[in-house]
Amino acid sequence: MKDTSIALKILFINKEGVVISVHDGEPLSEDLITEDSEPIYWVIELNQSENIPQGTYTDLAIREEPEAEPEDDDDSEEDEHPEIKVNKLYIYGPDGEVQAEIQAGARIFSRKSTAVIIRKAKRAFLSKSDKDYKALGRYVFNEIKAQDNRPAEYVSEPSKD
């Protein structure tokens, strides 16, 4: 909850897509919120006013996708990341409708970083200046590098079953 000024509800979800614990995060707290009862595959943060009890089933269950038959076409590209299974995360709004769909392997930036990216993108779009496009690119690549090199503080890799 560090640097987060709003109250959030933190859901820990297992491989089967079941909410195994729910914690209320305190704004700006640096206390680590963890769950050790079983391997965690997803952690979702919602507005604290949401009522999602422990034991709730979600549609996040990991499903092994059947391997596709190899194509005979010589033009077929090799999968760049075969270790990533095709999973999707659905973000629901208060009305129960899907607001966003995230494909496994997608990058998620903080709100602060997203605001900077949007500001730099607008500036580059309006100015059409190489300098502004380069500044946008540098910022995005620096954010990606920071994510890749940041130590795992809050979420650890799921264990392989």
Q: How far is CA 41 from CA 91, 102, 104, 112, 148, in A?
A: 16, 15, 12, 25, 19
Question: Which residues are paired to 57 by β-bridges?
Answer: 18
Tokens of 28: 């700006």
3-class secondary structure, 120: helix
Q: How far apart are CA 61 and CA 144, in angstroms?
A: 27
Nearest to 12 by CA among 48, 59, 45, 50: 45
Please tell me the pTM assigned to this model.
0.42
**If the chain, 161 residues long, is cut into consecutive pieces of 10 residues, what is the mean pLDDT of each piece?**
86 87 90 86 85 82 54 51 56 69 68 86 91 92 84 54 54
Per-residue model confidence (pLDDT) at position 145? 86
In this structure, which amino acid lies at residue 23?
Answer: H
